[in-house]
Structure 1
Amino acid sequence: MDYKFRCNCPFTSAIDILGDRWMLVIVKQILVDGKETFKEFVESEEAIATNILSMKLKLLEKLGIIDKIKLPTNKKTNIYRLTSKGLELTPILVELALWSDNNLREVHPSLLKGDGIDLLRNDKEAFAKALIESYQQKLDATNDKLNEQTEH
């Protein structure tokens, strides 16, 4: 993959990819919100423009953070899924959410509250584990459904 990084620093190189306005939002949408299709991303409350979304999905795929498969029953629809490399971003997303919860409430008082946030505050490792397990269950269910469609 040809990608121009600013320098050889691992921090800066990660920020070159993940510091983009949309990259982690898309990963979050897949992991937390269960988004899988282009249409679902476009219809989300984050309101990413279609041309930007297309470009970011292609880059995430090139980087091996997501993969794309076609539905056997509808060759026009792509399903986007996190790879193991993409799932490894879960602790980063959890840390960002925790930082946001701790530091942005006074300027953004409508941030989410509830059981999920309480778990995040009290046990971030359990929160991350629950996210990964939930995603894996959804992925397994999707794979089962795709296998059924392929067999017919």
Structure 2
Amino acid sequence: MKSYGQICSVARSLDIVGDRWNLLIVRELLITRRLRFTDLQRGLPGVAPNLLAQRLRDLEGHGVLRRETAAPPATGTLYALTDRGAQLEGVVRELLQWGAPTVADAAPDAVFQMHWLSIPARYLTRDNTPTAAPSTIRFGTIADGFDVTVSASLVTVAPCGIDDTPDATINGPGATLVGLLQGAIDLAHATTAGVTIQGDVHAVQRILAPGP
């Protein structure tokens, strides 16, 4: 990306992360702290491999991310955010909030991957019944999803635990799930719009904001 050539922190920030795909690469690494090149490709549908490789080099050169060697017995290269790159979480959070009202207007053929929802879930889920026993709600699947674990007012959002059995599993259209987490629609309306729940419905209700 050609520099804006301005002595301005906004322009300087955009010199580094303003190129197409850059902030979405950051998004993927905020969700899953270390990823292989192929993992990034899966989470960024539509990016050409050569363009992704260039963006990774650029971000590495600017100190936003680093390359690591996978610990044995795994092999290969992993990408992770540096401490400075991780500071972009606040930027991504503000973009989530600013862009949330536009999700309902996304094109019908727009792509949705469940793990993208894990960042807003960090800020929008809660423990409505902190005296209840701990519970885990899985959004999506191990292949593409995340777990929300709630216990005594503490809510943790993390990649799916391979050996964990969730109390409930929820799936559905992306825009509807976003509205559900935001409290813009209630669970009853969400289920009529294609959201499905397997397991304990009360576990799902426990983490949701009250509907309209």
Short-chain TM bin: 0.5 to 0.7
Identity over aligned pairs, percent: 22
**Larger C-alpha radius of gyration, 1 or 2?**
2
In structure 2, relative to structure 1, the CA distance for the partners of 1:71 and 1:15 (3 Å cut) is same
8 Å contact from structure 1 (residues 35, 41) kept in 2: no
How far apart in 2 are the matches of 1:46 and 1:73?
Answer: 29
Could you tell me the TM-score, scaled by structure 2's length? 0.48
Task: Quote the RMSD (CA, aligned, Å).
Answer: 3.5
**Greater length-normalized contact order (CA 8 Å, ≥ 6 residues apart):** 1
Measured after TM superposition, the shift of residue 46 of structure 1 is 2.7
Q: TM-score, normalised by structure 1?
A: 0.65
Q: 1:68 to 1:107 in 2, by over 3 A?
A: same
Hey, what's the Cα distance between the residues in 1 that align with 2:77 and 2:118?
33
Post-superposition shift, 1:97? 0.6
User: Residue 182 of structure 2 corresponds to which residue in structure 1?
Assistant: none
Q: Specify every segment of 5 or more residues in structure 1 that has no aligned partner in the other structure, as ranges.
A: 124-129, 136-152
Q: Which has the higher strand share?
A: 2
More helix by share: 1
Query: Could you list the per-position Cα deviations for residues 65-119 of structure 1 after superposition, in whole angstroms to 9, with x for gaps in the alignment?
Result: 11101235489721111111011000000000111113x134228888x896466
How far apart, CA to CA, are the structure 2 residues paired with 1:109 and 1:119? 25
Is residue 120 from structure 1 mapped to residue 118 from structure 2 by the alignment? no
Equivalent pairs counted in the alignment come to 124
1:105 aligns with 2:103: yes
Task: Determine the structure 2 residue equivalent to 1:60.
Answer: 59
